[in-house]
């Protein structure tokens, strides 16, 4: 039986069109219609050629009704993670080089006062996963984990793991950390550091071993090589940048504050502002997929355990042109993340504590 996971989809008018139909009917991942969410990682975990979803709900002992986090696959039963683990961001990649994607997940640290163990779920190729974080050196016991970026940061053709950590409340060190893969899925902590131990929000696609992230109210672009760090400051005329995303080739960066979105283009020496767009209000995140950027907004009055209507409309922009299409939405819930997925985005609306719908926006060819 096909079980739809999308409660609403929007028709876009303008320079592009959106698939106006229930999604996932062909592969039936069995994802819930309405749930709490924190993050998601997408990959073909079961190797059948269809993209699957690892759904993270930030479950703790006070939030039990939605069930555990899990990897929802099209040709294998859902793999459920242990419950009550304060799990946050996850990133997928073939860390051990055996041809199937694995999954790394961060955990919080009891509001910054306890030790914990991040997870490295190694794909066994049969729909099951083993947590091998301890034996592979990526536990990070004192890091107050938030988000993950996976990529080859040192140019050795092995996937590395970058973890953002929020500051602790007990004085223990909780820095952002880069774990370098030695080629056998055993990791060493790199001495390379970013400024700002917290920086809990990470919006990046590594390109030529670069890392783009928001830190406070500024954009930082880092490049790693031989344990050295090159930091390039991007002009911030907006005054308070809260989110940014970059094209896979590193040419364009799309950034935003609460109300304005800006496109920066690399001119060979620096990133230069090329356009601005004022989509509405309450921008939560921008997310680039291909040559388009999704501008995710959050509804007015969004509070925990409620389902307020979205009073701000999301926008899809052309990265190079800023041509805009406004989504005529009837979505409910608190905007959380826009995850690049296939030709569009998987939209999370749970914000860790509030139930909201999972939504799919797909761009027609």
Say if residue 172's pLDDT is above 80: yes
Helix, strand or coil for residue 160? strand
Average pLDDT estimate for 246-263: 87
pLDDT for position 244: 87
pLDDT for position 323: 87
pLDDT for position 225: 60
Q: Which of 93-97, 196-200, 307-311, 349-353 has the highest mean pLDDT?
A: 93-97
More confident residue, 24 or 164: 164
Say if residue 61's pLDDT is above 90: no
Average pLDDT estimate for 291-317: 68
Give residue 145's region: left, alpha or beta (phi > 0; psi -120 to 50).
Answer: beta
What's the Cα-to-Cα distance from 33 to each of 150, 308, 345, 359, rounded to whole Å?
A: 28, 16, 16, 9
pLDDT for position 17: 46
What's the Cα-to-Cα distance from 235 to each of 139, 168, 175, 203, 259, rounded to whole Å?
A: 36, 30, 25, 17, 17
pLDDT for position 248: 82
Confidence of residue 166 (pLDDT cuts 50, 70, 90): confident
Residues 6 or more apart whose Cβ sits within 8 Å of residue 125 = 47, 98, 100
What are the pLDDT digits (tens) for 128-161?
999 999 999 999 999 999 889 898 888 889 999 9
3-state SS track over 35-94: ECCCEEEEECCCCCCCCEEEEECCCCCCCCCCCCCEEECCCCCCEECCCCCCEEEEEEEC
Token pair for residue 358?
A: 């999972």
- Are 32 and 5 spatial neighbours (Cβ–Cβ below 8 Å)? yes
Residues 6 or more apart whose Cβ sits within 8 Å of residue 31 = 3, 5, 24, 53, 55, 72, 358
Token pair for residue 32?
A: 């819930």
Say if residue 44's pLDDT is above 60: yes
Cβ neighbours, 10 Å, residue 280:
14
- Are 136 and 120 spatial neighbours (Cβ–Cβ below 8 Å)? yes
- Are 256 and 243 spatial neighbours (Cβ–Cβ below 8 Å)? yes
What are the pLDDT digits (tens) for 342-362?
888 888 877 766 777 777 787
What are the pLDDT digits (tens) for 4-21?
333 333 333 334 444 432
Q: Where are the alpha helices (DSSP H) in the chain?
A: 133-136
């Amino acid at each position: 039986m096909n079980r739809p996971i999308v409660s609403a989809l929007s028709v876009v008018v303008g320079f592009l069109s959106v698939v106006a139909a229930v999604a996932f009917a062909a592969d039936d991942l069995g994802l819930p219609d309405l749930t709490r969410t924190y993050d998601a990682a997408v990959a073909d975990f079961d190797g059948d050629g269809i993209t699957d979803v690892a759904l993270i709900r930030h479950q703790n002992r006070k939030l039990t009704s939605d069930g555990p986090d899990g990897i929802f696959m099209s040709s294998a039963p859902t793999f459920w993670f242990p419950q009550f683990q304060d799990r946050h961001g996850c990133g997928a990649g073939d860390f051990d080089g055996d041809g199937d994607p694995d999954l790394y997940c961060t955990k919080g640290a009891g509001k910054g006062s306890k030790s914990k163990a991040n997870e490295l779920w190694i794909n066994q190729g049969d729909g099951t996963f083993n947590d091998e974080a301890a034996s592979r050196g990526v536990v990070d016991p004192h890091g107050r984990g938030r988000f993950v970026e996976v990529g080859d940061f040192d140019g050795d053709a092995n996937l590395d793991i970058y973890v953002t950590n929020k500051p602790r409340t007990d004085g223990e060190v909780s820095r952002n950390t880069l774990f370098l893969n030695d080629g056998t899925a055993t990791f060493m902590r790199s001495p390379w550091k970013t400024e700002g131990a917290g920086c809990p929000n990470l919006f990046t696609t590594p390109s030529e071993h670069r890392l783009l992230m928001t830190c406070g109210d500024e954009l930082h672009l880092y490049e790693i090589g031989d344990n050295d760090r090159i930091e390039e400051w991007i002009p911030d005329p907006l005054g308070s940048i809260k989110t940014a995303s970059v094209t896979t080739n590193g040419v364009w960066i799309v950034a935003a504050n609460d109300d304005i979105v800006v496109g920066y283009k690399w001119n060979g020496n620096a990133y230069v502002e090329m356009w601005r767009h004022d989509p509405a209000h309450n921008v939560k995140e921008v997310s680039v997929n291909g040559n388009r950027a999704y501008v995710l907004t959050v509804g007015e009055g969004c509070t925990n355990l409620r389902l307020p209507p979205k009073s701000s409309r999301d926008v899809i922009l052309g990265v190079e042109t800023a041509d805009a299409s406004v989504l005529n939405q009837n979505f409910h819930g608190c905007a959380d993340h826009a995850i690049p997925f296939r030709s569009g985005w998987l939209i999370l609306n749970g914000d860790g504590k509030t139930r909201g719908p999972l939504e799919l926006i797909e761009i027609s060819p």
